[in-house]
A and B are shown apart, each in its own frame.
Chain A
């Protein structure tokens, strides 16, 4: 049986919010029994775009991470729900039955991803349904994917083995594998969101004039082991990305022809622009 997954490319998301807004358009004021009741006008984010700003002015980037329900194959919400109020469809979609789930706030708390929302008024847990009512009606994509202008969101179905091959070929990874929930949402370029960088600019002073250094060799060491090497670009800039946050002390060695080698230490907590390093 073919099952659905979302594939989300973090680098291709520009935070336009078409996905978030088209989800609102679909679900606010609309009930789609037996899969969903209307989303309240305010407060719920079935397609929640998280934002991560990295670095310091003027070396800054931002990653945008669309996070819907993960439609987990080992879903904590299913285990938590009473009366089978949350169930897994044959096509991989996790559905909260709005009637059976009434009064079960535990379902919201069960989700480690924070992807389930509580409707105070209707006393029911709610979330993304992958627009199952539209798929049943012949649509090929849920609303969020249909309105995405960059292809950052993709909606793919296949047998388990075919899906496994896509994940391998495209080097996809789930969010928080340590939750062991086996999500059906896979990410590309996730490092842009959950990893960090060390960057900076190399410059020299010559006859009272400061100039940046193109072609300086910058080497990054962790303990005494070499992690990365980089050559500064035409602005004197270097950037080591895909490092682990809170990963402790690093050493940067900067060398350029005819200048003394320079060493600086960085205690890496989050992305950092070390600023201008004068040789």
Chain B
């Protein structure tokens, strides 16, 4: 033991101590705070005092980092596809089919740089497309918004616009009801933990599994808060077709509607309140607009259909009396709606017309006085006391180019052409394509109405794809389209740079092995994203800023991303511009000096200790989210990107009227005729739902929520121990299968038994998994987590092949949620399921 050295590092799920012996990692354990660290906060409520554990409660996938670092799936050497010859036959049709052979770094980088030069000279910089995934690593310097972004913005490229894939309905919908476009539709969460502990009676989790989605990057930090709520006698209701993990433990009531019908239930709740007069009339009249029209609609005075609980019951397949009881309890209590905030994205917003449900969520809480003590939209994963006055940047704090905040010369992508992530295969295979909206955008509501075309007039089509980190095959929709795209000769050259062999890796011509963030130095704060999730670290009980110490040398022949891009930049003649002579450690020090850290700790001390806990000020004064709006005051929360804050409109929300809009003025102004996202929100039957024509052929609704034990596609297939958790994968016949959950009645109809290998299929593809026959599912619905890190077609290279890796994203529809709201809708998916023969 004596020979062990201890380092500090940071992961997507929390900070860790790393024990190293003889250059090899022995263990990775969650960080513990010691006496010298800042004190923890205390909240008094219900005659008790609450204070967090003095350690990092990390996400489960953080506990498999050692396995992931030493995984068999590590990319060890640069490789070239066997039948790819840049000077001769390229054989793009064999991507996904052919093997690879090892080459030297010199050869690999020469080929990549040579192809980049050729393509840039022949077609222009816009012929190179690139994109990174979210968080295969953590760190502000050596990662996507820094190293990757600086390189590509420097040389110019066609960027892929991300979609806010985890909370689509809130971005495309809720922003038009209450603003918060600068948070992509998610409301501020400041100080709502204390508010809930003190003032709330009831929490309605609508499509929310906070123990599993964990404020995205907050690990298991908030789990204990929900136990506290229970200990204080506050009830928690769960509305979800799946009795999710949080519900199994803490649920006082589970209500299980059919997927895609949540908006109907929401309208029925409003109907009960209107019929019984149990809503906040004063708030509605002073803080909202358009209520009369909403009331007419709900009462059926517009179209003759009153949105009664009985009306909704037939759609949702939930008894009318349950909907009534829910509505009455909600109105009679001080109720937190746990939906739509960070980590509480919900399957209901990842559906056809998910915009409507998200808007109705805002409107329901408006009827109950959104912002009143104990009444808010709060996902239960953010909002402990938080020192927002301490400056430390997140990776998005300087827009798409983090290093612009520290470089002598900033870089901006000279290429104006863009592709939208959900439409990348169509863009390559069948251009031109068009879409509405700048997608992942938080500058204004109007950005959602900008028309885009690819190729941009006067621009070349994309000829080369440089894919960096992670994989979209497990996270996007209808993803066998991506395989088809990769096999197109229109992509003359494909590079994949990653740490592990992921599902897109084997579709590249050249593979470049990067190292993990344990094999290089970096700096970062736990869960601090910056940008559109301003103060993301408010998902954690302490602000933990980490000097991410290099724990071991890069494994095999891998190199840090910074080094790879530096060497490529060198070959392209922009090496000096890229690095400005800085090593990664130099950048780390610049970030340190920019932040408030030097006021508390020297760089040397920080570097040595490895972390710093940000103290709360002695005179900390809570400013609960939206309380200012409820009380008619100017915004007093640290929501710095609220454009009206500290202006003469400081009392207003970010909508056109400054109020909550039952009838959206932004939608009325821009798309008044849109019947799929009308100014007044409403339930609209899904284009692929329980009552669609297609349901005769494929009668089961597939839902694919955020995975509980892995993150997007990360950690799944490359971290052996994770596969031993039966809720994640199940080992049978020498293979780790993804569990497919279904109700016993549906299993019985099909002769399926628990533990059988089953085939899920529809016209878009078929996927094998292992049956988990469970009463946690409602009938008519099948559940399988998205984000498989494995895509393992029985016939490699055939996009139509059955997959056994559990990559259910190949089954989901590529169609966007509605005509003018181009969000993804993976939970609007019909399938059939059968026992695998033989």
Which A residues are within 8 Å of any B CB, using their own CB? 11-18, 20-22, 24-26, 28-30, 41-43, 45, 51, 53, 55-62, 133, 137, 143, 146-147, 149-151, 203, 209-212, 214, 234-237, 276
**CB<8 Å pairs between A and B, sample of 22:** A16-B60, A17-B60, A20-B724, A22-B29, A42-B720, A43-B724, A57-B243, A58-B243, A58-B254, A58-B255, A58-B256, A58-B778, A61-B249, A62-B248, A62-B249, A143-B27, A146-B30, A146-B32, A147-B29, A147-B30, A149-B224, A235-B253
Q: Return the CB mask of B221-257 against A: 1 if under 8 Å, else 0.
A: 1011001000000000000000101101101011110
Does B554 reach chain A (CB closer than 8 Å)? no
| A15 contact set on B, CB distance < 8 A | 245, 727
Q: Return the CB mask of B283-327 against A: 1 if under 8 Å, else 0.
A: 000000000000000000000000000100000000111101110
Are the CB atoms of B60 and A57 closer together than 8 Å? no
Are the CB atoms of B329 and A234 closer together than 8 Å? yes
Q: What residue in chain B is nearest A211 (Cβ atoms)?
A: B321
Most central of B249, B256, B310, B322 by chain A CB within 10 Å: B249
Docked pose: A41 CA to B71 CA in angstroms: 11
Does B821 reach chain A (CB closer than 8 Å)? no
Are the CB atoms of A149 and B220 closer together than 8 Å? yes
Are the CB atoms of A22 and B63 closer together than 8 Å? yes
CB < 8 Å neighbour of A146 from B29, B64, B326, B731: B29
Given A18-B63, A62-B248, A235-B325, answer yes or no on A147-B28 (Cβ-Cβ < 8 Å): no
| A51 contact set on B, CB distance < 8 A | 726
Docked pose: A56 CA to B743 CA in angstroms: 10
Q: How far is the CB of B20 from chain A (nearest CB, A)?
A: 12
Docked pose: A212 CA to B323 CA in angstroms: 11
Docked pose: A152 CA to B58 CA in angstroms: 15
Are the CB atoms of B778 and A21 closer together than 8 Å? no
Are the CB atoms of A57 and B223 closer together than 8 Å? no
Other contacts beyond A18-B220, A57-B776, A212-B321: 20, CB < 8 A: A16-B211, A17-B60, A17-B725, A18-B63, A25-B64, A28-B67, A41-B720, A42-B724, A57-B243, A59-B254, A61-B251, A143-B29, A149-B53, A149-B221, A150-B220, A150-B224, A151-B53, A151-B224, A210-B319, A236-B325
Q: What residue in chain A is nearest B28 (Cβ atoms)?
A: A25
Does B774 reach chain A (CB closer than 8 Å)? yes
Are the CB atoms of A21 and B321 closer together than 8 Å? no
CB < 8 Å neighbour of B775 from A16, A60, A211, A237: A60
Does B342 reach chain A (CB closer than 8 Å)? no
Docked pose: A103 CA to B410 CA in angstroms: 67
Does B597 reach chain A (CB closer than 8 Å)? no
Most central of B63, B66, B245 by chain A CB within 10 Å: B63
Are the CB atoms of A57 and B743 closer together than 8 Å? yes
| B246 contact set on A, CB distance < 8 A | 14
Q: How far is the CB of A118 from chain B (nearest CB, A)?
A: 16
* Interface members, chain B 776-833 (any A CB < 8 Å): 776-779
Q: How far is the CB of B110 from chain A (nearest CB, A)?
A: 37
Are the CB atoms of A57 and B53 closer together than 8 Å? no
Are the CB atoms of B775 and A234 closer together than 8 Å? no
Q: How far is the CB of A230 from chain B (nearest CB, A)?
A: 14
Given A14-B211, A151-B53, answer yes or no on A236-B321 (Cβ-Cβ < 8 Å): yes
Given A11-B249, A16-B211, A60-B776, answer yes or no on A21-B722 (Cβ-Cβ < 8 Å): yes
Are the CB atoms of A42 and B29 closer together than 8 Å? no
Most central of A62, A137, A210, A237 by chain B CB within 10 Å: A62
Most central of A11, A24, A25, A59 by chain B CB within 10 Å: A25
| A61 contact set on B, CB distance < 8 A | 248-249, 251
* Interface members, chain B 702-734 (any A CB < 8 Å): 709, 720-722, 724-727, 731
| B328 contact set on A, CB distance < 8 A | 234
Q: What residue in chain B is nearest A44 (Cβ atoms)?
A: B724
CB < 8 Å neighbour of A212 from B211, B249, B325, B725: B325
Q: How far is the CB of B823 from chain A (nearest CB, A)?
A: 29
Docked pose: A211 CA to B70 CA in angstroms: 59
Does B26 reach chain A (CB closer than 8 Å)? yes
Given A147-B30, A210-B319, A212-B322, answer yes or no on A62-B776 (Cβ-Cβ < 8 Å): yes
Does B338 reach chain A (CB closer than 8 Å)? no
| A41 contact set on B, CB distance < 8 A | 720-721
Which B residues are within 8 Å of any A CB, using their own CB? 1, 26-30, 32, 53, 55, 57-58, 60, 63-64, 66-67, 70, 211, 219-221, 223-224, 227, 243, 245-246, 248-249, 251, 253-256, 310, 319-322, 324-326, 328-329, 709, 720-722, 724-727, 731, 743, 774-779
| A147 contact set on B, CB distance < 8 A | 29-30, 58, 63
Q: How far is the CB of A142 from chain B (nearest CB, A)?
A: 11
| B326 contact set on A, CB distance < 8 A | 235
Docked pose: A22 CA to B64 CA in angstroms: 8
| A13 contact set on B, CB distance < 8 A | 249
Most central of A29, A51, A151, A235 by chain B CB within 10 Å: A235
Q: What residue in chain B is nearest A45 (Cβ atoms)?
A: B724
Docked pose: A235 CA to B29 CA in angstroms: 44
Docked pose: A137 CA to B1 CA in angstroms: 8
Are the CB atoms of B26 and A57 closer together than 8 Å? no
Are the CB atoms of A209 and B724 closer together than 8 Å? no
Are the CB atoms of A14 and B223 closer together than 8 Å? yes
Most central of A28, A42, A147 by chain B CB within 10 Å: A147
| A26 contact set on B, CB distance < 8 A | 27
| B245 contact set on A, CB distance < 8 A | 14-15
Q: How far is the CB of A25 from chain B (nearest CB, A)?
A: 5
Q: How far is the CB of B109 from chain A (nearest CB, A)?
A: 33
Given A57-B243, A234-B329, answer yes or no on A150-B319 (Cβ-Cβ < 8 Å): no
Docked pose: A147 CA to B724 CA in angstroms: 18
Are the CB atoms of A149 and B57 closer together than 8 Å? yes
Docked pose: A242 CA to B356 CA in angstroms: 43
Q: What residue in chain B is nearest A133 (Cβ atoms)?
A: B1
CB < 8 Å neighbour of A24 from B70, B211, B324, B724: B724
Docked pose: A28 CA to B28 CA in angstroms: 12
CB < 8 Å neighbour of B249 from A14, A18, A45, A53: A14
Docked pose: A237 CA to B720 CA in angstroms: 43
Docked pose: A143 CA to B776 CA in angstroms: 31
| A137 contact set on B, CB distance < 8 A | 1
| B29 contact set on A, CB distance < 8 A | 22, 25, 143, 146-147
Are the CB atoms of B227 and A12 closer together than 8 Å? yes
Docked pose: A96 CA to B776 CA in angstroms: 40
Are the CB atoms of A203 and B27 closer together than 8 Å? no
Are the CB atoms of A28 and B58 closer together than 8 Å? no
Given A18-B60, A20-B725, answer yes or no on A150-B775 (Cβ-Cβ < 8 Å): no
Are the CB atoms of B64 and A150 closer together than 8 Å? no
Q: What residue in chain A is nearest B328 (Cβ atoms)?
A: A234
Q: How far is the CB of A233 from chain B (nearest CB, A)?
A: 8
CB < 8 Å neighbour of B63 from A25, A60, A212: A25
Docked pose: A234 CA to B30 CA in angstroms: 43
Q: How far is the CB of A262 from chain B (nearest CB, A)?
A: 17
| B248 contact set on A, CB distance < 8 A | 60-62
Q: How far is the CB of A33 from chain B (nearest CB, A)?
A: 12
Q: What residue in chain B is nearest A56 (Cβ atoms)?
A: B775
Q: What residue in chain A is nearest B779 (Cβ atoms)?
A: A57
Docked pose: A165 CA to B408 CA in angstroms: 67
Q: What residue in chain A is nearest B30 (Cβ atoms)?
A: A147
Give the 6 A-B residue pairs with the shortest CB-CB distance, closest first: A149-B57, A149-B220, A21-B63, A62-B248, A24-B721, A212-B321
Docked pose: A212 CA to B321 CA in angstroms: 6
Are the CB atoms of B32 and A234 closer together than 8 Å? no
Docked pose: A164 CA to B255 CA in angstroms: 43
Q: How far is the CB of A207 from chain B (nearest CB, A)?
A: 12
Docked pose: A55 CA to B779 CA in angstroms: 15
Q: How far is the CB of A150 from chain B (nearest CB, A)?
A: 5
CB < 8 Å neighbour of B325 from A14, A56, A234: A234
Q: What residue in chain A is nearest B32 (Cβ atoms)?
A: A146
Q: What residue in chain A is nearest B777 (Cβ atoms)?
A: A57
Are the CB atoms of B60 and A24 closer together than 8 Å? no
Q: What residue in chain A is nearest B727 (Cβ atoms)?
A: A15
Q: How far is the CB of A203 from chain B (nearest CB, A)?
A: 6
